[in-house]
Amino acid sequence: MTANAATVTRARTGGPREDGPKILEHAMGWTLVVVLAMLVTRLGLL
């Protein structure tokens, strides 16, 4: 069995194409960046 045939027969388990709302994921990502930046500056690591 070739690698191509093996990938065709596998069932999808979810992944990047089956994500939820993109705007929520984007907003949560930027919120994490801001919180991390505030933590770094508060602790004086920068």
Predicted model pTM: 0.53
> Which tokens sit at 20?
């939820």
In the numeric block, the tokens 């991390």 are attached to 36
For 3-45, write each residue's pLDDT tens digit.
665 556 667 676 666 656 888 899 999 999 999 999 999 998 8
Integer Cα distance of 29 and 26 in angstroms: 5
Is the pLDDT confidence value at 2 over 70?
no
Predicted confidence at residue 28, as pLDDT, reads 95
3-class SS letters over 1-46: CCHHHHHHHCCCCCCHHHCCCHHHHHHHHHHHHHHHHHHHHHHCCC
Predicted confidence at residue 30, as pLDDT, reads 97
